[in-house]
Structure 1
Amino acid sequence: MPSQSLQDPYLNTLRKERTPVSIFLMNGIKLQGQIESFDQFVVLLRNTHSQMIYKHAISTIVPSAPIKISRETQTKHSQGPSEELSEN
């Protein structure tokens, strides 16, 4: 299964560092908390309770502080399928 570009390392960094985030939904609702977990389809957001949010309903994720994703992670996840095939 191909990588989801920057999405997975971005969400994983927010989760591991327990960075508070604001998640804006497509309908304009703002949710706040920490990313507890995520998969291909959903994000679990923890505040006073856990909420499962479907990714297709998310417009924007805004961290409360700047986050840093390593160059190695960016390079690893920015390669598209055509680049991976050309290396073999």
Structure 2
Amino acid sequence: MAKALPIQDPYLNALRKEKISVAIYLVNGVKLQGRVDSFDQFVVLLRSNVTQMVYKHAISTIVPARDPKEYEHETPIEKDE
């Protein structure tokens, strides 16, 4: 089985670098809007009028205003051995 390629960090980093506006939907249905300022293993800092620290376990969906130009994800082909 092929090793999984990282998805989350490169995607969030592309959104951050390109300063793309995002809507973050939380698991409780709340919608937050802003730009990804920073992130780590556990949180995303979302900047709008103020900076909000959003815990990743509370995030359901991240919807960008547009696709990031610098993000390319290749899904590895799984081989049966």
TM-score interval, smaller chain: 0.7 to 0.9
TM-score (norm. length: structure 2): 0.81
Q: How many residues align?
A: 74
1:11-30 deviation digits (Å, cap 9, x = unpaired) = 00000000000000000000
Task: State the 1:4 CA deviation.
Answer: 7.3
1 or 2 for the larger relative contact order (CA 8 Å, sep ≥6)? 2
Question: 2: CA distance between counterparts of 1:47 and 1:64?
Answer: 14
Equivalent residue letter for 1:5: P
More helix by share: 1
Equivalent residue letter for 2:42: F
Question: 1: CA distance between counterparts of 2:68 and 2:54?
Answer: 22
Q: Cα RMSD between the aligned structures?
A: 2.0
Question: 1: CA distance between counterparts of 2:61 and 2:26?
Answer: 7
Question: 2: CA distance between counterparts of 1:45 and 1:64?
Answer: 14
Q: How does 1:68-87 map to 2 (within 5 A)?
A: 68=69, 69-70=71-72, 74-75=73-74
Superposed structure 1 runs of 4+ greater than 6 Å apart: none
The answer for unaligned runs of 5 or more in structure 2 is 77-81
